[in-house]
Structure 1
Amino acid sequence: MNIGPDSVERLARARADLRMGVPVVITGDHPVLVCAIETLTTGRLTALRDLPATSVIAITARRAETLKAPAYDGDLARIALPTDHTFAWLRSIADPSADLMTPLKGPLKCERGGPVDAHRAAIQLAKSARLLPAAVVTPLENAAGFAKANDLTTLSLAETQAHLSERSPLRAVVRARLPLEVSEAGQLHVFRPDDGGEEHYAIEIGQVDRSQPVLTRLHSACFTGDLMGSLKCDCGPQLRAALTQMGAIGQGVLLYLNQEGRGIGLANKMRAYSLQDQGFDTVEANHRLGFEDDERDFRLGSDILKSLGFGSVRLLTNNPKKVEMMQASGITVAERVPLVVGGNRHNTAYLATKARKSGHLL
């Protein structure tokens, strides 16, 4: 029996490598070396320049729009790496924090035609590692030999595409009694994905009748709002109001999904906050970073509910997309229960953007 890592485990290893600044190799018909720009060091950039092949920068179409770079490949753009590029210039392509101070980074020459699947996988890998979605991608002639000589993690393009396009199965790890302020009859369930990603939680209150629609909140982790009492969002008040309602009726389920910052991670969320301080709204900030409006996968919530034996919910939400997702994933939404709390002078524009651009019913 082979006790080495399988394709899912190699993918988890690759995420960790990219976060530490270590390149990974993606094999296939057109193998490449992938370096995440956010964690790329000057030393490794120098080593890349010594390789015989010409590197390109892979960025999302959202980031390309900000840079006025043509996204010939639809959802991404491949920017040719100039021979005189500097480390600071390369970082500025990925990081929009100084865009307003140095708006002109071009002219940028973008490639068109040819295979782009490995470039797309590189961007998805960076996203899944909670890094800025931008990578230096370099073609390799002898990928296996190069990876072995440099002790690099190697991923199969086909397997990587399959795993990145699917959500990892969740496994129940443990549950235990957890008395809460809103109800002493609380239980915490911990779920862990097979791909080594973040764990997710379900807080069950009372003895819930599985045959009836259960009052449910699908809540995304928000360190700043839930724990620190941030006034920039309404997450903390929504979390506490949902638990209070469940405690008042004696039953309910709160799903706490570790998808901080609409799925882009806390560091990128703080980058978005910095862009908001420059005058951009929530959606615009995400786009300038290279992300979509919302990168979360709410199907995780339906997976947890099914594993706990629930098939029907009364969903505490202002977001119609959560209702649509639940229905599409096989969970019946018997009722949408509004949860309009937490407005203040600091988040007025944020809430207005959620209503105008994301369709929240406020």
Structure 2
Amino acid sequence: MIETIQTQASPLGTPRTRAVHRAVAEARRGVPVVLAARHPLIIAPAETVGAEGLRLIDLLSEGTPKLLLARSRAEAVMPETAMPQGTPPASPEVVALKLARPLIDAETLKRAADPTLEQILPEFELTGAPEEAEAALTLAKLARLLPAMVAARVKPGWAQRREGADLLSVPAHDLAAYPLNLAASLTRVAEVPVPLEAARDARLVAFRALDQGIEHMAIVVGEPERQEAPLVRIHSECFTGDLLGSLRCDCGPQLQGAIARMGREGAGIVLYLAQEGRGIGLINKLRAYTMQDRGLDTLDANKALGWHADERNFHIAASMLRGLGIARIRLLTNNPAKLTSLAACGIEIVERVAHEFAPNGVNDSYLETKAKRFGHWLG
């Protein structure tokens, strides 16, 4: 039996959640922020931080600065014999590497974060990961940046210093709670009929969270709300497959096949989620393609970048279904994780409907990996 997750989300309009919005923007600009916790840290993404950001970290921090990497990324940077054996108690998924003062140049840090770049790196020494290391990497992921952060213990009184007064402070636990809060705040903002070739009675329903960020779409065919358990497909956007017709994946045929099936049945819903590349974003998906071209499969390519195999937030799909008045569904999928995730969000799945397409000669190994390593059903 799957335990239903009961959650209490806080409004996204509060000052604390607005601080997360700002922290994401600062991370994308390479500006350091202070991670408020029992032992506050000043942090900046290795991918975007520049010379000025590194100077501020040097000026406003004390102790040993560190480069925080996802464990899977660190394994690609360091020899296997140098990796810590066992699980560190504070941050099991994060490895910390010592950085010398003054901090090394931004280009070296970027190369440590991005395995697609030529790896000309100094020897890094392992050190203990700070208590809030995972929250620091969460900020990078929320910004769709590579999960690699420069971090150091911030000096007491940093906010009173002339060069620290403008830095943003964000509570560490607010970063962890943000994805759930984002999903809980989704509201319907627009709806319009859009006749499709395979479903003339389709309409689009747009959803947006209170952060005014990327919209998610529901492609609604017919009147599924009148059915006891309508057919539903959860589809994460795929620019390369859906729009360009890329043969590297099966996303385009899956999307068009789902719409066509719902058109034939007379009703159904495709939840089109803005979660490219299983939630890592388009740029990181292209980086993962580069790693695949070097011999990794799709799962190991994501891990080499520092991401989990699947970073999607299925609370968004559950929130959209509730917004459409749907609580019981037949789920069109070959992915068992979608069943367990939706059920854990309180959606009742009365039937799993197979959704399979034959390989095309290019995506054969991709489909094989989905079956063997992600556990996808073959029918």
Shift of 1:82: 2.9
Aligned pairs for 1:248-263 (under 5 A) are 248-263=264-279
AA at the equivalent of 1:87:
A
Q: How does 1:1-362 map to 2 (within 5 A)?
A: 6-51=15-60, 53=62, 54-68=64-78, 69-70=83-84, 72=88, 73-83=91-101, 85-98=104-117, 102=120, 105=121, 107-112=123-128, 115-117=130-132, 119-141=133-155, 142-146=157-161, 149-163=164-178, 167-169=182-184, 170-341=186-357, 343-362=359-378
TM-score, with normalisation over the residues of structure 1?
0.91
1:101-131 deviations in Å (ceiling 9; x for gaps): 65xx454222227x422x2211001001100
Structure 1 stretch displaced more, 35-44 or 48-57? 48-57
CA contact (8 A) 1:202 1:255 kept: yes
8 Å contact from structure 1 (residues 124, 164) kept in 2: no
Offset, 1:150: 4.6
Structure 1 stretches lacking a partner, 5+ long: none
Distance 2:114 2:161 in 1: 29
Q: CA deviation at 1:209?
A: 4.3
Give aligned-pair identity as a percent.
Answer: 40
- Cα offsets for 1:21-44 (capped at 9, x unmatched): 222122232222111111111343
Report if aligned partners of 1:21, 1:40 keep a CA contact under 8 Å in 2.
yes
CA-CA distance at 1:86 after TM superposition: 3.6
Distance of 1:120 and 1:291 partners within structure 2: 12
Give the conservation status (yes or no) of the 8 Å contact 1:287–1:293.
yes
* AA of the residue aligned to 2:113: A
Question: How far apart, in 2, do the equivalents of 1:308 and 1:159 lie?
Answer: 28
What RMSD in Å do the two structures reach over aligned CA positions?
2.2
**Distance in 1 between residues matched to 2:314 and 2:61, nearest whole Å:** 44
Q: Which deviates more from structure 2 when the two are superposed, residues 179-188 or residues 76-85?
A: 76-85
**Which amino acid in the other structure matches residue 92 of structure 2?**
G
Query: How many angstroms apart in 2 are the aligned matches of 1:166 and 1:191?
Result: 14
The amino acid across from 1:303 in the alignment is S
Question: Residues of 1 paired with 2:125 and 2:180: CA distance?
Answer: 29
Question: Which one is further off, 260-269 or 315-324?
Answer: 315-324
Identify unmatched segments of 5+ residues in structure 2: 1-12
Q: 1:196 to 1:76 in 2, by over 3 A?
A: farther
CA contact (8 A) 1:238 1:342 kept: no
Distance 1:52 1:9 in 2: 25
Relative to structure 2, which stretch is displaced further, 16-25 or 121-130? 16-25
Q: Quick one: distance in 1 between partners of 2:304 and 2:249?
A: 20
Per the alignment, do residues 149 and 217 of structure 1 end up closer, same or farther by CA in structure 2, a change over 3 Å counting? Answer: same
- Given residue 30 of structure 2, which amino acid in structure 1 is its aligned partner? G
Q: 3-state SS of the aligned residue for 1:97?
A: coil
Q: Deviations over 1:128-149 (max 9, x none)?
A: 1100001111221224325874
The answer on whether the counterparts of 1:264 and 1:295 sit within 8 Å (CA) in structure 2 is yes
Moved more, 156-165 or 277-286: 156-165
* Partner secondary structure for residue 39 of structure 1: coil
Kindly indicate whether the alpha-carbon contact (under 8 Å) linking 1:225 and 1:233 is maintained by their aligned counterparts in 2: yes
SS of residue matched to 1:276: helix
Q: 1:52 to 1:211 in 2, by over 3 A?
A: closer
Q: Deviations over 1:169-218 (max 9, x none)?
A: 21111212222212221221111122344221111111224441101110
**Amino acid across the alignment from 1:235:** C
Which portions of structure 1, spanning 4 or more consecutive aligned residues, are displaced by more than 6 angstroms? none
Contact 2:225 2:325 in 1 (8 A): no
Report if aligned partners of 1:168, 1:194 keep a CA contact under 8 Å in 2. no
CA contact (8 A) 1:96 1:288 kept: yes
How many pairs does the alignment contain? Answer: 354
Distance 1:336 1:164, change over 3 A: closer
